[in-house]
Chain A
Amino acid sequence: MLSSLEIALYVFMLATFLGLEVIRKVSPLLHTPLMSLTNAISAISVVGAILITSAQGATPLSKVLGFIAITAAVTNIVSGYLITDRMLKMFKKPEDKR
């Protein structure tokens, strides 16, 4: 049986290669929205922040750090997705012009 660490390393390796392949195909046209999208996605660290804050018997330190972490991550999630969509809306299809 693989240990938890080994499974995580396999997942990491595969996700990295997959990420490199998928991102390579993104048009340079969209590199700015891509970066704000990946930013929003990496704010998934909010999950860790929730676990820390919501744990039974969380110390005041945990609660304060977790609170700041959730606030920062949620700011990224909300602004990241919304601004990506706002940018993408600007990319007009060629036929829209005529």
Chain B
Amino acid sequence: MAHLVNYIYLVSAALFILSLKWMNSPVTARRGVFAGEIGMLMAITGTLLAHEVFNWQWILAAFLIGTAAGIPIAYLMPMTAVPQRTAMSHACGALAAALVGTAEFYREPNQPKYVLVALIIETLLGFLTFTGSLMAMGKLQEILPQRPITYRNQNLTNLGLFAVAAALGVRLILVPTDTWIFPIFAGLSLLFGVLLIIPIGGADMPTVIALLNSYAGLSACAMGFVLDNRMLVIAGALDGSSGLILSIIMCKAMNRSFTNVLFGAFGQIQMKHGAAEQRPVHSASAEEAAAILEASSSVIIVPGYGLAVAQAQHKIRELSDALMRRGIDVKFGIHPVAGRMPGHMNVLLAEADVPYDRLWGMEEINAEFPQCDVALVIGANDVTNPAARNDKSSPIYGMPILDVDKAQTVMVIKRSMRPGFAGIDNDLYYLDKTLMLFGDAKAFVTDILKELPMAVAAAR
């Protein structure tokens, strides 16, 4: 049986790889989830059968509590809160890895050096990801301020703290019998996690979540080295590389580097731009907007997180359906950082029953704007700012944007002229072809919907 379990683990690892492979298309993705579930079930059953299980009451109780907590989280969590849930599960995963490392260290400190190295990496990453993810969750849930929390010599303090934690880790590897050092090491790792995340602003959360995902995976991977279990190494490495790719994609989408995200405290620098001069804008009513949409033949809707804040997803789907019934081509152009985590906006629109062939990524949709009659921007700001393309002095210069300004007519639904996350004025709003539709996104789209039939009547 002890041998058989290794083959079970082998199959589990293969299923995990297939599971991720099937995620490449919405058609096969649910099969991927199923493969992952089977892989997990096999791994757990195999582990329980292969070893003589003592303390089964403890294990059973933990399984029951975990299941009882997991089911309501999965079914009751609103889709807008998925980023918070994800941050929370990074925290749980990292905590599990860190505690297993801690228990293993106290069980037998005198292990081969490489095991100790892996164990220290596992616990360091595990503890810092645990508190870091809790901080990220607090920011996403808006329990903690979205604005970066900064103080003087912050980076120096953080790096110093990390250096001390790492030095204690090295000391533990060299003299593992000094177990009294371990709690200090763990405490500093926990503290470092907090300090690492508090200076990071709300706009950078997609990158941070992806990065924490990577850390949590690597921590599980290090556990595989400690316990000499290849399947853990594989599953952890898959998670680690997934988080890494997603954070690279997010960084590119914002034209930022890792160091800039982690140490830059974005959102502070641009304060000086606050007092921009008042420039004239064109504004329009729901009635006028409905008439323009009615007369167009292709429309691209550009949603941002403001859409979700206003809970306007369902209304915008109704509007796109109404336009499509009139033979107008409607597409959604989605910037990679449109939501609070990678791919978030796609999920929010899918929840509102927008079919996924209507959801276009930034690169494909940018080829479409020049031929498009109307670009309708709802709750998106910085990702449509042409200054990113042509104003070298702009803080967002170089960031890839949606080329909304190349459409024939641009309509922007916005509460007021207040600037977005980056605190920068958006030149798009002052173009001659741009119409500002001032109001709440949901209310305004509802008004446009009401006006649409009348626009038809007027056209006849």
Contact = CB atoms under 8 A, between A and B. Distances in A.
A1 to B, nearest CB: 15
Q: Which of B210, B242, B351 has its CB near the most chain A CB atoms (within 10 A)?
A: B242
B70 A88 contact: no
Given A20-B241, A71-B65, A58 B74 contact: no
B66 interface: yes
A52 to B, nearest CB: 5
B368 interface: no
Interface residues of B, number: 114
A44 B437 CA distance: 50
Given A28-B361, A32-B344, A78 B74 contact: yes
Interface string B241-258: 111111001000000000
Interface string A3-41: 011011001100111111011111111111111111111
Task: Name the prevailing secondary structure of the B interface residues.
Answer: helix
B51 A88 contact: no
A31 B246 contact: yes
B95 A72 contact: yes
Contacts, number: 373
B23 A82 contact: no
Interface stretch (B100-108, B153-161, B283-291, B302-310): B100-108
A29 B26 contact: yes
Interface stretch (B219-227, B271-279, B400-408): B219-227
B220 A42 contact: yes
B239 A42 contact: yes
A70 B210 CA distance: 24
B59 interface: yes
Interface string B64-101: 01110111011101010010011001101101110110
A32 B103 contact: no
A47 B96 contact: no
B89 A36 contact: yes
A42 B93 contact: yes
B342 A35 contact: yes
Contacts of B148: none
B229 A47 contact: yes
B43 A44 contact: yes
Contacts of A92: 350, 353, 355-356
A88 B85 CA distance: 16
Contacts of B67: 74, 78
Contacts of A52: 100, 103-104, 107
Contacts of B351: 90
A61 to B, nearest CB: 6
B79 A87 contact: yes
A65 to B, nearest CB: 4
5 contacts: A22-B20, A32-B341, A33-B347, A35-B246, A93-B27
Given A32-B341, A74-B66, 11 more contacts: A12-B233, A28-B336, A38-B238, A38-B242, A44-B232, A45-B97, A47-B232, A77-B70, A81-B40, A90-B353, A91-B26
